[in-house]
Amino acid sequence: MVEKGRISAFQMGRMIYLAITPTAILTTPAITFKFAKQDMWISPIWAFCGLITLYAVFRLHAIYPGRNIVQACEAVIGRLPGKLLGALFLLYYLYLIGIILREYGEFVVGSFLFTTPLIVVSGSMVLVCAIAVRGGVEIVGRFAELLLPAFVTLFLFIIIPIIPDLRVPNMFPIMANGITPSLAGAFVLQTWFSELISASFLLPLVADQKKAKTSVLIALLMIVLTLVVANLATLMLLGDITGGYTYPFLILARYINLAEFFTHLEAIFMAIWVLGAFVKICVFFYVTVLGAAQWMNLSDYRPIVFPIGLLVTLSSMWVAPDLQKLTFSISTSVTFSAMTMFVIVPMLLLCLAWVQKRWRGTAAKG
């Protein structure tokens, strides 16, 4: 066993929540609005991919207890194809962290630190995350436990003061064209929901297995709730021009004005963003490192943390030449590839595993 640390089911839920929400609040409202218009707040409710992914993760774990999806690959489809598929998984993870890190860097540089080079912003984040990841799953889990209350408090710090400026009529008419627009808007969100596959890597490390399922489902529910609240607030403030802004939720923080005194609060949003992105990158980073170590049959994952950190930084530079292309690919190709890797492949694996089990069962009997 490469990882000796254990986390509680509760910590796992918090890690999953923070591994998905932060970037979803930032980038998705504008893209969702383009398809769903005033139904954009309904879109996060269509979390199909999340449920399918979680189903696959838990069933696979029931068939192969103590193994994550990369390890399960080998057991299901044989050693060589399993290794190949596992490598594909890990490379895709690397690509995805590249995107997350780039989103983080682009936002910080584009809205706050205009003169800082992108590599400094993302490089320092990778360094901090690498140190946390070297500490093992327990450290990452505790960070999630520690930072979640801060994340939620700061989130409410933006939502509550903006309430006087919200215009409820902006959300009407609800579902004027049926559910199709909100489903179309939910499409891009499926990338985020399929990221729940990270649960597969954390699940074998959970000490109290019985509570794990409840904890992750609560996390999913909270993700949906947070996104609904964030999208609703954005919609009620900005209405028809939501789609025009690159980061609509940032405008919320900028627009707050309580008593002529409580204003210019984008620093809070920056804090949310850095906290959230830190945990998110830590979780993804950890999963990649752990998966890579297991894939190469290493006895310890610590030696490869920094080398993979370097790859992550490079990947963040390679994923897209500029922000426009990054946003464009997130709303198009990334959605498809994420759904393929994180939803379709695990489901196929599950089907195969199930058939094998059946077949072996009947073979043993006969």
Partner 1 sequence: MDATKRKAVFALFFLSVHALCLTGCWDRTEVNDLAIITAAGLDLTEDQQLELSVKIYLTSSSSTPQMGGFSSPNSGGAGLSVVRSATGLTVADAASKLQQLISRKVFWGQDEVFIFGERLSRQGFVEPIEFLMRHPGPRERSNVFVSKGMAKDVLQLAPPIERSIADSLRKMAKLQTGLNITMKELAQMMGGKAKAAVLPMVEIKPREASQDAFAFINGSAVLKNGKMVGRMNKVATRGLMWLRDEIEYGTVTVSPENAGGNVSFQLRRSHTKLVPHIRGDDWSIEVRVETWDDIVENATDLDLSVPKHIEQLRTALEADIRQRTEMALAQAQKEWNADVFQFADAFYRKYPKEWNRNKDRWDAIFPKVKVRVEARSVISRPGLIGKSPLIPNQR
Name the site residues for partner 1 (rule: CB under 8 A): 110-111, 114-115, 169, 172-173, 176-177, 237-241, 244, 251, 254-255, 257, 263-264
Instruction: Find where tokens 């936002």 sit.
Output: 107
Q: Which residues pair with 29 in a beta bridge?
A: none
Taking residue 324's Cβ as centre, other Cβ atoms within 10 Å add up to 10
Q: Name the residue among 171, 159, 59, 129 with its Cα closest to residue 287.
A: 129
Query: Which of 80, 114 has the CB closer to partner 1?
Result: 114
Supply the minimum distance, in Å, between the C-beta of residue 39 and partner 1. Answer: 11
Return the DSSP state at 93.
H
CB of 113 to partner 1, least distance (A): 11
* 198 close to 284: Cβ distance less than 8 angstroms: yes
- Minimum CB–partner distance for residue 191 and partner 1 (Å): 26
- In the complex, minimum distance from the CB of residue 32 to partner 1, in angstroms, rounded to a whole number: 18
Q: What are phi and psi of 263, to 5 degrees?
A: -130, 180
* Residue whose CB is less far from partner 1, 6 or 34: 34
* Position 347, amino acid: M
Q: Which is nearer to partner 1, 59 or 254 (CB)?
A: 254
What secondary structure does DSSP assign to 41-69, as a single string?
TTGGG--HHHHHHHHHHHHHHHHSTT--H
Question: Closest distance between partner 1 and the C-beta of residue 110, in Å?
Answer: 7
Residue pair 216/66 in contact by the 8 Å Cβ criterion: no
Q: Which is nearer to partner 1, 38 or 190 (by Cβ)?
A: 38
Nearer to partner 1, 240 or 300 (CB): 240
What number of residues does the chain have? 366
Q: Quote the least distance from Cβ 111 to partner 1, whole Å.
A: 6
Rounded to the nearest whole angstrom, what is the least distance from the CB of residue 322 to partner 1 in the complex?
A: 15
Q: Which is nearer to partner 1, 84 or 120 (CB)?
A: 120
Given the complex with partner 1, which of 17 and 249 has the nearer CB atom? 249
| DSSP annotation string for 142-201 | HHHHHHHHHHHHHHHHHHHHHGGG--GGGGPSTTTTTTHHHHHHHHHHHHHHHGGGHHHH
The type of residue at 63 is I
Among candidates 252, 3, 299, which has minimal Cα distance to 135? 3
Helices (H), 112-136: 118-134
Q: Is the dihedral of CA 9, 14, 19, 20 positive or negative?
A: positive
In whole angstroms, how close is the CB of 291 to partner 1 at the nearest point? 29
Nearer to partner 1, 15 or 109 (CB): 109
